[in-house]
Amino acid sequence: MQSNRRKNTAALDFFFGAGYTKEKTTWRVIVMLKKFSVENFKGFKDKLTLDIGSPSNYGFHPEAVEDGCITKGIIYGINGCGKSNLGLAIFDVITHLTEKQRLLQNYDFYLNMSGRKSFAEFEYTFVFDGHELIYRYSKTDVDVLKEESLSIDGKEVIYYDFLAKDGFTLLEGSDTLNASIKNDSPISRVKYVSSNSILADNAQNLTFKKFIDFVDRMLLFYSLDNRGYEGFMNGSEGIAEGIVNAGKVKDFQKFLKENDIDYDLYEREADGRKAIYCHFDNKDADFFKIASTGTRSLALFYYWYIRMKKASFVFIDEFDAFYHFELSESVQKKVNEILGVQIFTTTHNTDLMSNDLLRPDCYFLLKDNSIRAISELTEKELRQAHNLQKMYKAGAFNG
């Protein structure tokens, strides 16, 4: 038995590298997005760069950094500064590399309306077990690629110019694809290589596969179910149905009670669908028909929370729009407990800007087409005892 276990571990080491973890029977790769840039997309006329691969050397909350990258972050900014559009920009990559859920209607007015360029540009830098992968592309619209480039450890291995109809693939095992795909095909060459080639087992190709897997497991969702989600999976499963199917009704009840919402919940069929009901002394009722807006929003978070451990990168827009500030803190703490997944939220709630919850290099300000951690916005050395919220309100991070 031990011999077989060692063989299985060796096989996983070969495919995933040294960065996987084990949770019950699920093996997971620890891979990270290091940096992201976008230009001429929606409100971002000039190039904007989110750098989450240069953490500061703080001794507290070390769990917020893995493999040299920030894994938990909160993004602040005034209304209209681009927080929601930043999420759409980061997740633009799933629209042409995956078949997962897409919110194409949110990509209307794709290009910046004041920009001089006729295309938007995107650049992602990833780290995978010591290997760096950079993926660059440009588009004239959400579903129209102009140019695409992928480099691993400084070597460009896939390139294609969709206007000139010319390019190459250099990954070992992909050489025959150049002849099998039509030059005028609009399909991403990266996606085509991933879907149609049998790549050789080498470090370069394994890094490529990890990149594809990372993008395939990205998840964006909003604080209200009717605003939808992007990436990770497909379909429109109801929240109640999802919680019931996962066998988590009692765990959901416990989660609510931890946040001072006390219901006696049980599952049942109602109108041909799976539902969650609340038991009362005189009458039972459908949970979602009696729950407040804030409680329904919390249920939506829980629906995704029980799935987040299988995600790679999560972006939750205005995650606490309907929460009391104490509930916001409780939910953010639940997020912080998830290891090996990069999770970023947007909010206006400055009560969360605290060293008790995260650290200064995890709080980002989006302003004037620039996004930077507050640790970079002051010459003052920020320490654990500092009141970050008070400093923020006093204008200490306006630089």
DSSP label of 44: B
Residues 253 and 169 in one domain: no
- Tell me which of 310, 344, 370 is where a domain ends: 310
* CATH of residue 343: 3.40.50.300
Domain containing 290: what range?
240-310
What is the mean pLDDT, run by run of 10 residues, along the chain of 399 residues? 40 41 46 96 97 95 94 94 96 97 95 95 95 98 98 97 93 80 87 92 95 97 84 92 96 96 94 93 94 93 95 94 89 94 95 96 96 94 94 90
Domain membership flag for residue 29: yes
Residues 280 and 226 in one domain: no
Domain membership flag for residue 4: no
Contact between 177 and 192 under an 8 Å Cβ cutoff? The reply is yes
Residues 256 and 149 in one domain: no
Residues 111 and 57 in one domain: yes
Residues 305 and 319 in one domain: no
Predicted local confidence at residue 252, as pLDDT: 97
Give every CB contact of residue 80 below 8 A, 6+ residues apart in sequence: 43
41: phi then psi, degrees, rounded to nearest 5: -110, 125
When divided into structural domains, the chain yields a total of 2
Residues 319 and 304 in one domain: no
Residues 227 and 342 in one domain: yes
Residues 128 and 51 in one domain: yes
Predicted local confidence at residue 25, as pLDDT: 38
Residues 245 and 98 in one domain: no
Domain membership flag for residue 185: yes
Query: Which helix (DSSP H) or strand (DSSP E) does residue 138 occupy?
Result: strand 131-141
Predicted local confidence at residue 240, as pLDDT: 95
Q: How far apart are CA 224 and CA 321, in angstroms?
A: 9
Residues 185 and 247 in one domain: no
- Tell me which of 276, 295, 310 is where a domain ends: 310
C-alpha distances in Å from residue 383, one per residue of 63, 76, 137, 380: 17, 20, 39, 9
Predicted local confidence at residue 399, as pLDDT: 66
Kindly report the three-state secondary structure assignment for every residue of 151-211: EECCEEEEEEECCCCEEEECCCCCCCHHHHCCCCCCCCHHHHHHHHCCCCCCHHHHHHHHH
Predicted local confidence at residue 190, as pLDDT: 96
Q: How far apart are CA 282 and CA 1, in angstroms?
A: 56
- CA 250 to chain CA centroid, Å, is 28
